[in-house]
Copies of this chain bind each other. A is one copy, B any other.
C-alpha cells in the first residue's frame, strides 16, 4: 500500500498507471494486472464569493471532523450556519446544538431531506424548529461574507445571516474525472458505470464505492448513491471477483437513515417524484401511531408513509419519521422491497411484538392495513 501517491494517468492498452508522488512530484509508470478504481466522492463546494474564507468547513474526512472539533473547543463560536438540509446538514445541526451554538440551516429546496416526500420532509423541518434551529428553505446562498479572510456570515437571495462558522452539507459528486478522461464509461450522475460484478467494461478495470454506479432494484434502473453500506458491499464483490470469484451485487433499494436530536428519519424505495418519473400509478398514505405499546414507558410518536403501485399492490417505498425506536423499522420495508412483496403481504408478516418494542401490529403493518384499502 502506497499513501502519498496519486494516479494521474491510466493507460488501458498497456495496463499501466502513471503514479505521482505528492511530496516531490516525481512520476513513475506502474504496471497492473487488475485495476480497481475506488476514488470515492467529492463534496460539492459552491463557486461563489469568499468560498475559500477561513471558517467555512466541509465534512468529508476524519481530518475534517478533527478540525471542526478543535475549532469548537478552542474558538468557541456562537453562531453556526449550515448550508444544506441533507444527512450531513442534519447531523451537523445536532452536533452544533449539543455544544450550545445558535444554528441556522439554509437549503435551496422547499424542504429538508430531499430524499423524503414533501409531506414527510415537513415533519423533519418542524422538528428542527422545535430543537431551536432557524430553518430557511427555498433560499440560495449567493455569497459568503468575510472580514480579513475570515467568514462572518452568508448572503442568500433573501437575507443576510451572521455566523462565526459555516458548515457545508451540499452533497457529493462521484470522483470519476480521471476514469472518464481515459475512456472509462460513466453512467448516472457521472459515476463510473459498472455491471453487477463491478466490471467497468474495460478489460482488467473495476470500480466500487462512491465513485461507482449501482442498480436500483425497485425502479430496475441504474442508480447513484454515495453511502457506506453500498460502498462496502460493492468493495466486497469487487475484491472477490478480482481474486477470481464470481460474486454479484444485485443492487440497492435506496435505504438510508439519519438522526437529528431525538428525531429519527429513515427512507427506502422510491419516493413520489421518482415514481412519477417512471410513469407508475401509485397510492400512498401516512399513519401516525406509537413506537411501543401506548401504555409502555418511553413510547413516542412515529409517522410511517408507504407507497405502492395501484392495481397490483406492489410495494414501492416507505418513509419513517419519529422518536427513538422508529428508524430501524425501515428495514422491514427494505427487506420487503428486496422480496418484491405486495402491501397485502406486509400485513401477513410475522414481526416481533412485545410492549417494550412495538404495538401488536407493527407501525409498518398499521400503515399497510390502511394502504391496502386504496389499492
Q: Which residues of A come within 8 Å of B, CB atoms?
A: 87, 91, 217, 227-230, 232-233, 249-259, 264, 266, 268, 325, 327-332, 334-339, 341, 345, 347-354, 356-358, 360-362
Chain B's nearest CB lies how many Å from the CB of A90? 10
Oligomer: number of copies: 2
> Chain B residues near A337 (CB, 8 Å)?
350
Say which residue of B259, B268, B335 sits within 8 Å of A354 (CB atoms): B259
> Chain B residues near A360 (CB, 8 Å)?
228-229, 232
Q: Are B348 and A249 in contact (CB under 8 A)?
A: yes
> Chain B residues near A353 (CB, 8 Å)?
227-229, 257
Q: Are B352 and A330 in contact (CB under 8 A)?
A: yes
> Chain B residues near A347 (CB, 8 Å)?
233
Say which residue of B331, B349, B354, B358 sits within 8 Å of A351 (CB atoms): B331
Give the secondary structure class of A's interface.
Answer: mixed
Chain B CB within 10 Å, residue with most, of A227, A345, A348, A362: A348
7 closest Cβ pairs, A-B complex: A339-B339, A257-B352, A335-B335, A252-B350, A255-B350, A253-B350, A229-B353
Q: Are A358 and B328 in contact (CB under 8 A)?
A: yes
Chain B CB within 10 Å, residue with most, of A87, A232, A330, A331: A331
Given known A341-B339, A345-B338, A357-B259, contact A229–B331 (CB-CB < 8 A): no
> Chain B residues near A345 (CB, 8 Å)?
338
Given known A341-B339, A360-B232, contact A352–B255 (CB-CB < 8 A): yes
Sample (11) of A-B pairs whose CB atoms are under 8 Å apart: A249-B348, A251-B350, A255-B351, A258-B354, A264-B357, A331-B331, A332-B335, A334-B352, A335-B349, A337-B350, A338-B349
Chain B's nearest CB lies how many Å from the CB of A233? 7
> Chain B residues near A335 (CB, 8 Å)?
331-332, 335-336, 339, 349, 351
In the complex, what distance in Å separates the CA atom of A249 from the CA atom of B347? 10
In the complex, what distance in Å separates the CA atom of A362 from the CA atom of B362? 21
Q: Are B233 and A348 in contact (CB under 8 A)?
A: yes
> Chain B residues near A361 (CB, 8 Å)?
229, 232
Chain B's nearest CB lies how many Å from the CB of A328? 6
